[in-house]
Each structure stands twice: as structure tokens, then as C-alpha cells.
Amino acid sequence: MKFGSEFELDGIDRQILVLLQENCEQPLAKIGEQVGLSAPAVVERIKKLEEHGVICAYRAIVDARLLGKDVTAFIGVSIDHPRKITAFEERMEQVEGVLECHHVTGGYTLLLKVKTDNTSTLEELISRIRYEDGVSGTETMVVLSTHTERTQIAVGQPADTVTTRRPRRNGDRQILRQLKGG
């Protein structure tokens, strides 16, 4: 997969991405052994992956229940006018408990994934969301149990062509220009 004219994702990069997603704290020498490179060569590849935005961040994955977040829910949000979507999305970035905010097709404008302490705090969060400017309705689905919840992205094999999502906002266009080297 090509990112601009000077960088191409190859099989070794893909292996490194798989290994980092499994455990980003493992020694670079161990990663090097598994991909057939020295630790300094692995460092250089990781730096390139970071510089080109393939690796966005390193985080710890925590057990929400052990931190007292016992309720997971998805909240479908309907927005009354398209011009109000961006402002709503930006406000959701600041709301504790909102883990994800997705612009979706279907019966809702946005779909939120939230985690709260209990049903009372979920009710408070739903109430707050309902009073946000532009919200015309919500529907909440409480998760009873979770069978599969992944944090790793399948790296896969190189594609013959590069496909990118269509930009929705000016910031997305700027990022795509950077990725394409323009």
C-alpha cells in the first residue's frame, strides 16, 4: 500500500504492525528476530510508520468493569439538520463516557458507544445527549454481554490498488493530500 511517493507498506511493515498490535511493549530485538531485521532497522521502520500516520498512538487496553464501568450501550442519535453534525461530534469528544462517535447510514445520524458506571449514570448521559443542540431523538441499546470486541486491525496482504475513503470535511481532504504526497 502506497502513502505518497516515498513510502510503501511492505510485508515486513505488515508483520511489524501485527506484532505491535499484539504487544507494543515487547522488545524491539524480539520483533526483529520475528521479522528478520536488527532492532535498529525495526526502529527505523516503526518511525516511518509513525511519520506516515499508519501508527497513530500507543495505548493500554483496560478492563472497564474493573474500573467500575459496568454498563456498555450504543446510542443512536438523530440530528435535525446536517449543519449541526460537526458541532455535535466535537462536543461528544468532551463528554466522559462517550468512547466512540460514528456518522452512520440508516435510521440514525450518529451512533455512540458509551460506558458508564451503572444504569443511573447511563440515564444521566442519555439525558445530556438529548438536550444537545440539534438532537431530535435518541434510541439506546444496552449491551447485555460482549462476545467479541477487537482492538486490533487486520493488516492483510498488499492490495493492487490503494483505496481511500471519500473526504467528508476539509481536515480529511488535507490528510488525504498529505498521504498522497501533495
Q: How far is it, in rounded angstroms, from Cα 46 to Cα 56? A: 11
CATH fold for domain 64-142: Alpha-Beta Plaits (3.30.70)
Residues 6 or more apart whose CB falls under 8 angstroms from that of 1 comprise 8, 9, 158, 159, 162
Residues forming CATH 1.10.10.10 domain(s) in the chain: 1-61
CATH fold for domain 1-61: Arc Repressor Mutant, subunit A (1.10.10)
pTM for this predicted structure:
0.75
pLDDT tens-place string over residues 58-114: 999 999 999 999 999 999 999 999 999 999 999 999 999 999 999 999 999 999 999
